Structure 1
Amino acid sequence: MKFNNYDLAKNLWGVDENNNTWENIYLVTDIEMIDVSYDRLNKILGYKDNYVIQGLQVLDEIKSNKLFEVLELYNYSLNEPVSIDDYKNTLSNLENADKLDTEYMARRRKEQSFLRNYLFGNDKYFECGICGEKFPIDMLITAHIKKRSYCSNDEKLDYKNIVMPMCKLGCDDLYEKGYIFVDGSGNISLNRDRPITQKISQYVDPIIGKRCKYYNEQSSKYFKANVDRHKIEV
């Protein structure tokens, strides 16, 4: 969060010799201390081996993206605002991007930020679209109902119908791997062709038969595409 407040800044830090203070303020959350050696940092950023960073250094987007990926710093619970036009451009640029390139990862994060903002807004907790349980949003995936890599660009742009939240505690994997699916009536069903262990049964038994609230006339074709991909007999 960013804001401007002279009185707060004056109270916190006082003023300089001209009675000015540092009133442009930003707030941060989820602070995490990390310890990275110069050797490792220099290799990630492409600096000389003996380079020593001194003081505050603001990295450009490419170097920042490298650090995000290698050090796993990106927090999907804090989403940057992304406009619909920016989202469309991002998807268009992803089509021909090198998946190992840092720019590709930056665009994928931008895509995720747009979708997470659409699904969760400013909520801190949200319900899984499969089990219906409420979770902190960093425990939820913005899952494509039809596998993302199988979607056309037009289907990816249909974000109001192609994505839904699924929890990391099991629903995302179970749906993605075809253990459970949403049938033509919008109900969550068990794929009996998959090997089901006792632990999986304990997890899915309370879910089976529930209606998926993300099933509707527009999204039904994407749920069917997932059924067809796993060759599930309905």
Structure 2
Amino acid sequence: MRVMLQPASLATPSVRQHYEDTIQSLVDLAAHAALLGDELGVLQALYPNGYAPMWGVTPGLNNANVSKYQKLSQGDYVFFYGGKRLYLGGLVTHTFHNPQLAEELWGRNKNDQTWEYMYALDDLRGCDIPIEEVRECLPNVKSPDYIVQNPYMAEGEGADNLIELAQIDIGDVPSVGSEPSPSDPEIVSDLVFDKDLERRASRAERREQPTLKKALLPGLAGECALCGRTLPRRFLWAAHIKKRSECSDEERRDLSNIAMLACILGCDALYEHGYITVASDGTLIVSKAAQQDSVVNEHIERYLKDRTVSWWSPEREKYFAWHREHTYRADLPS
């Protein structure tokens, strides 16, 4: 998987207008059917509701952007960059070259180029990651002052680092029309796993975890920091407020503040995947992404709506702040 850094400063009026027209408002596929041609069927299969977020890249000086764009494919990830921060991320579902559609959507720039190397996105989420942290993820970037002025394609270690930094959970993107539905009983019955079921592996132990769980939960029951329910200990997990792999050794040893009890009946997963977070005053924030799923929304309405997290404290705020900036599925910037 590759990750592209897309310069798109919302402080630039033309960029903001493009963003509002084709990211916030989405592109009406039917309205552009004539220009989409054969791409229309592909996009309608990907977006059954008929609307898709789209962006594009200009050829650039001496076609410098074309070779970068040609590496981009379905299943890759794009971060939008502006104001010295990554502010938006999305999964690439389809790439296509269409100068006519690009000009109709966005016009042309001062160099008489249009954003003809286009891509459609899914699972859009706001983020707030400073360029200083981005630089540390990119082994091929040597300049301490690097900023994203042109599309940058991260591969290998750099791409993995960016995905880990932003806490993105990448799901598989199916090829449109090429495979039968896995819900078909006949297809499922033919599934066979022909590799070794077990393998020997060494792993690093989280040696502080037993001490952490005991400190947070000395008895047979405890309170979930997020929903506030008192539950038996088997339903509670010592969850790191800031992802453990991103903590320094000093932070991992800060047992009084680095973790909280979160129930495995929904709250832990919602927090881990960024559907909820905690504000700087302790109030619980719910992502709009969570409200799109009726089952998830039912849990939130019943147990989390309008809650203030008593576990929040000034000492723990820096860890909650990291979660808000790196894991929370923030709304699209306006």
TM-score (norm 1): 0.52
Match runs of 1:32-43 below 5 Å:
none
Cα distance between partner residues in 1 of 2:324 and 2:247: 14
Q: Secondary structure at the match of 1:210?
A: coil
Match status 1:138 vs 2:239: no
- Counterpart AA for 1:214: W
Q: Deviations over 1:68-121 (max 9, x none)?
A: xxxxxxxxxxxxxxxxxxxxxxxxxxxxxxx9426x3xx42x422100111111
Cα distance between partner residues in 2 of 1:197 and 1:127: 26
Cα distance between partner residues in 1 of 2:259 and 2:246: 13
Please list every run of 5 or more consecutive structure 2 residues that lacks an aligned counterpart in the other structure.
1-199
Q: Secondary structure at the match of 1:160?
A: coil
Q: What does residue 313 of structure 2 align with?
A: 216
Match status 1:101 vs 2:197: no
Please list every run of 5 or more consecutive structure 1 residues that lacks an aligned counterpart in the other structure.
1-98
Q: CA RMSD in A?
A: 2.0
Match status 1:180 vs 2:276: yes
Cα distance between partner residues in 1 of 2:318 and 2:281: 12
Q: Deviations over 1:158-194 (max 9, x none)?
A: 1101110000110000000001111121111101145
Q: Secondary structure at the match of 1:159?
A: coil
Relative to its length, the structure with more helix (as a share) is 1
Q: What does residue 5 of structure 1 align with?
A: none
Match runs of 1:45-124 below 5 Å:
100-101=201-202, 104=204, 107-108=205-206, 110-121=207-218, 123-124=219-220
Runs of 4+ in 1 over 4 A off after TM superposition: none
- Counterpart AA for 1:117: K
Q: What does residue 324 of structure 2 align with?
A: 227
Match runs of 1:143-182 below 5 Å:
143-182=239-278
Q: 1:211 to 1:195 in 2, by over 3 A?
A: closer
The Cα of 1:195 is off from its aligned counterpart by: 6.0
Q: What does residue 196 of structure 1 align with?
A: 292
Q: Secondary structure at the match of 2:226?
A: coil
Q: Secondary structure at the match of 1:161?
A: coil
TM-score (norm 2): 0.37
Cα distance between partner residues in 2 of 1:219 and 1:196: 30
Q: Identity across aligned pairs (percent)?
A: 31
Asked if the contact 2:291/2:297 (under 8 Å) is kept, the reply is no
Q: Deviations over 1:116-159 (max 9, x none)?
A: 111111x1011111011111111111000001111111111111
Asked if the contact 2:275/2:287 (under 8 Å) is kept, the reply is yes
Asked if the contact 2:226/2:309 (under 8 Å) is kept, the reply is yes
Cα distance between partner residues in 1 of 2:289 and 2:210: 35
Q: What does residue 86 of structure 1 align with?
A: none
